[in-house]
């Protein structure tokens, strides 16, 4: 692409090549005004992968020119997230580091009579740009202000002699251009806010339109990769770098990634969080990267998902199931298996002695012996899931019924239900069954179900709280005014988070929890993830500390795409 750059000034290109030696240089430039989301994972992958494929380098650049919206927590979280995805920035940079150079370039622009001090209010500017109806446009009187006067005012803006909103520096572009990005964009505004890095040094701050391309140029970015909403900005980007006569990177656009039944926009995510529709930025129902990390999605799955989504200019809206399929496929390979019952009912094997104890060695993964084995106790009393018992025989139900036989996963012989014991109000209290270890004529079970021993003396079961999630929005597109007449927030699914208390797992949970999985790139312990056989994939919630040895789990995904519907 650089070869296609029409107006490269050879002398600037030579300077640039001296600095980079022809190396590809890209940047991932988030504004630190929120947490990153799955859409950003696409931007991260594109920038890092393109550079990697060409032996290039990638900067993580905080585009921190708006002190009002920025907070320290976002800076920390963004770097952590990039590293968690497995990418290592060549260098971390900040647009604010270039404030002095940017200011000099603004002065240069004034001196070339390509910028002017303007006291129009925002409304006046809007009206002169044709207003809401995009009608005819007019140039403002300040446009013809003498260079020396604009220069003096700009210095006074910097010196703090103007209040917020009183004065801006605008680029003298082309009010008659069909491209709104040429309607004399604001380059600098007065802001009396301390900046988290430059403190109270500055009273004027450059805008995105002024900063972005110039910092790309200063950093010798070769490929300025951005999303298609900046297509209109491409010409103004080139206009500005040409106007101040600096090296011109090439801008190249790709389509934003969107996911149905979800929101990917920092501002809207912020609304969901601050209005209490979700329980924070890392609520596992969100598609922020901190949320999906907490939920147990793996970086490998997220990267594969965004890579396979492809780099086209088309905006893509992908179904959430697509992302979940990538997660499921990866976890199927790497997650150890455990047994858990979410809704336990007790079974007493009445033909075994009260102190019966059989240690059963179980593989942690059926196809990966390197994951080792664990020992679970098999005792006279155990729990199965209430859903695996039905009170009456049913030819389509292959699990436990009165007088019926079912297998217990990893246990050599099946059991037969001999009695249903009820409470006074008729509910099932517990089941009695026989362990068919000495019955050569016992029928072969049609199904094997999961179970956990009810044997506190052997450390079993392990108590759990399980949190199950569904899509946060009812509709694929919560902005569809016909389907959602009362606005996108009215489309939030209030039942998207279900908490199950009193669930139980086998003793393997403790070791699995302690191990977690080590994410080498982030050099940090990741959440422990596993498959509960026949139930789904779960991860230990890193933020919940519930006493009495109970674990809090987030469901990552169900076992099969359709099993959750
Ligand atoms: P948001 O609307 O969520 O705040 P943004 O574009 O304002 O997004 P930035 O912090 O400016 O967020 O984003 C950094 C980079 O990530 C930009 O290059 C931006 O184009 C890209 N990006 C943001 N959202 C997406 C998305 N959904 N798909 C692909 N790239 C994205
Ligand atoms: Mg942005
Ligand atoms: Mg934004």
Q: What is the ipTM of this complex?
A: 0.96
Would 458 be classed as within a structural domain?
A: no
**Do residues 93 and 209 share a domain?**
yes
Buried-state track 287-297, b at ≥16 Cβ within 10 A, e below 16: bbbbbbbbbbb
Task: Give the pLDDT of residue 563.
Answer: 47
Of 444, 472, 491, the domain-final residue? 444
Using a 6 Å cutoff on CB, does residue 265 contact ligand 1? yes
Rounded to whole angstroms, the Cα distance separating 253 from 257 reads 13
**Do residues 102 and 180 share a domain?**
yes
Residue of 565, 511, 561 lying closest to 537 (CA atoms): 561
C-alpha 253 to ligand 2 mean position (Å): 14
Would 183 be classed as within a structural domain?
A: yes
In terms of residues, how long is the chain?
A: 565
Using a 6 Å cutoff on CB, does residue 31 contact ligand 1? yes
* Cis previous bond, 226, omega within 30: no
Give the catalytic positions in this structure.
31, 256, 266
Task: Give the pLDDT of residue 460.
Answer: 96
- Cβ–Cβ under 8 Å, residues 446 and 440: no
Task: Choose which residue among 27, 28, 30 to substitute to test ligand 1 binding: the one with the highest number of ligand atoms within 8 A of its C-beta.
Answer: 30
**Do residues 533 and 395 share a domain?**
no
Rounded to whole angstroms, the Cα distance separating 111 from 74 reads 37
Would 451 be classed as within a structural domain?
A: no
CA of 225, closest atom in ligand 1: 18
Task: Give the pLDDT of residue 19.
Answer: 86
CA of 269, closest atom in ligand 1: 3
**Do residues 229 and 123 share a domain?**
yes
Task: Give the pLDDT of residue 437.
Answer: 93
367 Cβ contact partners less than 8 Å away, ≥ 6 residues apart: none
**Do residues 117 and 240 share a domain?**
yes
Using a 6 Å cutoff on CB, does residue 226 contact ligand 1? yes
Task: Choose which residue among 32, 39, 42, 85 to substitute to test ligand 1 binding: the one with the highest number of ligand atoms within 8 A of its C-beta.
Answer: 39
Using a 6 Å cutoff on CB, does residue 195 contact ligand 1? no
**Range of the structural domain that residue 534 is part of:** 261-337+464-564
Task: Give the pLDDT of residue 7.
Answer: 58
Rounded to whole angstroms, the Cα distance separating 374 from 513 reads 14
**Do residues 438 and 490 share a domain?**
no
Task: Give the pLDDT of residue 393.
Answer: 85
Terminal-to-terminal C-alpha distance of the chain: 46
Place of tokens 């005792």: 379
Rounded to whole angstroms, the Cα distance separating 515 from 509 reads 10
Rounded to whole angstroms, the Cα distance separating 307 from 254 reads 13
Using a 6 Å cutoff on CB, does residue 231 contact ligand 1? no
pLDDT along the chain (565 residues), means of 10: 54 83 93 94 95 94 90 90 96 97 98 98 95 91 97 98 97 96 97 93 97 97 92 94 94 93 93 95 96 96 92 84 96 95 98 97 95 96 97 91 96 96 95 93 92 97 96 96 96 96 95 65 69 96 77 95 56
Would 455 be classed as within a structural domain?
A: no
C-alpha 311 to ligand 1 mean position (Å): 15
Residue of 62, 65, 87, 84 lying closest to 73 (CA atoms): 62
Using a 6 Å cutoff on CB, does residue 29 contact ligand 1? yes
Ligand nearest to the backbone CA of 40 = 1
C-alpha 30 to ligand 2 mean position (Å): 7
Using a 6 Å cutoff on CB, does residue 32 contact ligand 1? no
Rounded to whole angstroms, the Cα distance separating 214 from 105 reads 9
Rounded to whole angstroms, the Cα distance separating 237 from 210 reads 8
Of 220, 254, 288, the domain-final residue? 254
Of 229, 254, 279, the domain-final residue? 254
Going by CA atoms, what residue is nearest to atom 26 of ligand 1?
39
**Do residues 272 and 183 share a domain?**
no
**Do residues 88 and 191 share a domain?**
yes
Per-residue pLDDT tens over the stretch 158-175: 999 999 999 999 999 999
Q: What is the dihedral of CA 100, 101, 105, 107, to 10 degrees?
A: 30
Would 57 be classed as within a structural domain?
A: yes
Domain count, the chain: 3
**Do residues 322 and 362 share a domain?**
no
**Do residues 249 and 283 share a domain?**
no
Would 58 be classed as within a structural domain?
A: yes
Tokens representing 506? 């086998």
**Do residues 217 and 296 share a domain?**
no
Q: Phi, psi at residue 226, to the nearest 5°?
A: -150, 175
78 Cβ contact partners less than 8 Å away, ≥ 6 residues apart: 30, 32, 35, 36, 60, 62
Using a 6 Å cutoff on CB, does residue 40 contact ligand 1? yes
| Cα radius of gyration rounded to whole Å, the chain | 31
C-alpha 201 to ligand 3 mean position (Å): 26
- Where does 244-389 show beta strands of DSSP type E? 250-254, 257-259, 316-318, 337-338, 340-341, 344-349, 357-363, 373-379, 381-385
C-alpha 475 to ligand 2 mean position (Å): 26
Rounded to whole angstroms, the Cα distance separating 290 from 516 reads 17
Residue of 436, 449, 346, 347 lying closest to 388 (CA atoms): 449
The three-state DSSP-derived secondary structure of 420-478 is EEECCCCCEEEEEEEECCCCCCCCCCCCEECEEECEHHHCECEEEEEEEECCCECCCCC
Going by CA atoms, what residue is nearest to atom 12 of ligand 1?
30
Strand 373-379 relative to strand 357-363, pairing: antiparallel
Would 459 be classed as within a structural domain?
A: no
Ligand nearest to the backbone CA of 230 = 1
Using a 6 Å cutoff on CB, does residue 30 contact ligand 1? yes
Ligand nearest to the backbone CA of 264 = 1
Residue 314 CB burial class (10 angstroms; 0-12, 13-18, ≥19): exposed
**Do residues 266 and 231 share a domain?**
no
Would 316 be classed as within a structural domain?
A: yes
C-alpha 344 to ligand 2 mean position (Å): 49
Ligand nearest to the backbone CA of 208 = 2
CATH at 431: 2.40.240.10
CATH at 90: 3.40.50.620
Residue of 291, 212, 330 lying closest to 38 (CA atoms): 291
DSSP state of 275: T
Task: Give the pLDDT of residue 71.
Answer: 80
């Amino acid at each position: 692409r650089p070869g296609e750059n029409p107006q490269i000034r050879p002398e600037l290109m030579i300077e640039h090549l001296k600095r980079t030696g022809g190396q590809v240089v890209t940047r991932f430039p988030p504004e630190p005004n929120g947490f990153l989301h799955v859409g950003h994972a696409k931007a991260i992958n594109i920038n890092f992968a393109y550079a990697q494929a060409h032996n290039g380098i990638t900067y993580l650049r905080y585009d921190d020119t708006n002190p009002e919206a920025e907070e320290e927590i976002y800076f920390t979280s963004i770097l952590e997230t990039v590293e968690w995805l497995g990418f290592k920035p060549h260098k971390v940079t900040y647009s604010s580091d270039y404030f002095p150079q940017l200011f000099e370039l603004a002065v240069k622009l004034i001196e070339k009579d390509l910028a002017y001090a303007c006291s129009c209010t925002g409304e006046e500017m809007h009206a002169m740009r044709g207003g809401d109806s995009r009608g005819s446009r007019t140039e403002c009187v300040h446009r013809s202000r003498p260079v020396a006067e604009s220069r003096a005012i700009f210095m006074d803006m910097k010196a703090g002699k103007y209040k917020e909103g009183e004065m801006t520096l605008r680029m003298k572009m082309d009010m008659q251009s069909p491209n709104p990005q040429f309607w004399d964009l604001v380059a600098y505004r007065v802001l009396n806010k301390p900046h988290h890095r430059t403190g109270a040094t500055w009273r004027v701050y450059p805008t995105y339109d002024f900063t972005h391309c110039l910092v790309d140029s200063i950093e010798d970015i070769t490929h300025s990769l951005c999303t298609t909403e900046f297509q209109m900005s491409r010409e103004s980007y080139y206009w500005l770098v040409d106007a101040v006569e600096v090296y011109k990177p090439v801008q190249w656009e790709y389509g934003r990634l969107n996911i149905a039944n979800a929101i990917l926009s920092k501002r809207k995510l912020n609304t969901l969080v601050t209005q209490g529709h979700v329980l924070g930025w890392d609520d596992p129902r969100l598609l922020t990267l901190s949320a999906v990390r907490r939920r147990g999605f793996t970086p490998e799955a997220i990267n594969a998902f965004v890579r396979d989504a492809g780099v086209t200019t088309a905006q893509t809206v992908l179904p959430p199931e697509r992302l979940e399929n990538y997660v499921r496929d990866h976890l199927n390979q790497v997650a150890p298996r455990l047994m858990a019952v979410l809704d336990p009912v007790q079974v007493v094997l009445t033909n075994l002695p009260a102190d019966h104890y059989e240690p059963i060695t179980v593989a942690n993964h059926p196809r990966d012996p390197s994951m080792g084995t664990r020992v679970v106790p098999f005792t006279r009393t155990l729990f199965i899931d209430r859903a695996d018992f039905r009170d009456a025989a049913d030819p389509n139900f292959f699990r436990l019924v009165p007088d019926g036989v079912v297998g217990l996963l990893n246990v050599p012989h099946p059991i037969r239900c001999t009695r249903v014991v009820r409470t006074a109000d008729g509910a099932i209290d517990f089941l009695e069954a026989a362990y068919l270890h000495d019955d050569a004529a016992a029928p072969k079970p049609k199904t094997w179900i999961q179970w956990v021993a009810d044997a506190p003396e052997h450390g079993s079961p392990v108590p759990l709280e399980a949190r199950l999630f569904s899509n946060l929005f009812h509709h694929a597109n919560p902005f569809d005014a016909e389907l959602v007449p009362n606005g996108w927030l009215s489309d939030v699914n209030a039942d998207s988070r279900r908490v199950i208390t009193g669930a139980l797992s086998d003793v393997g949970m403790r070791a699995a929890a302690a191990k977690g999985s080590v994410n080498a790139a982030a050099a940090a312990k990741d959440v422990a993830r596993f498959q509960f056989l026949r139930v789904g994939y779960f991860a230990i919630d890193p933020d919940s500390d519930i006493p009495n040895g109970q674990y809090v789990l987030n469901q990552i995904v169900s076992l099969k795409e359709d099993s959750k519907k």
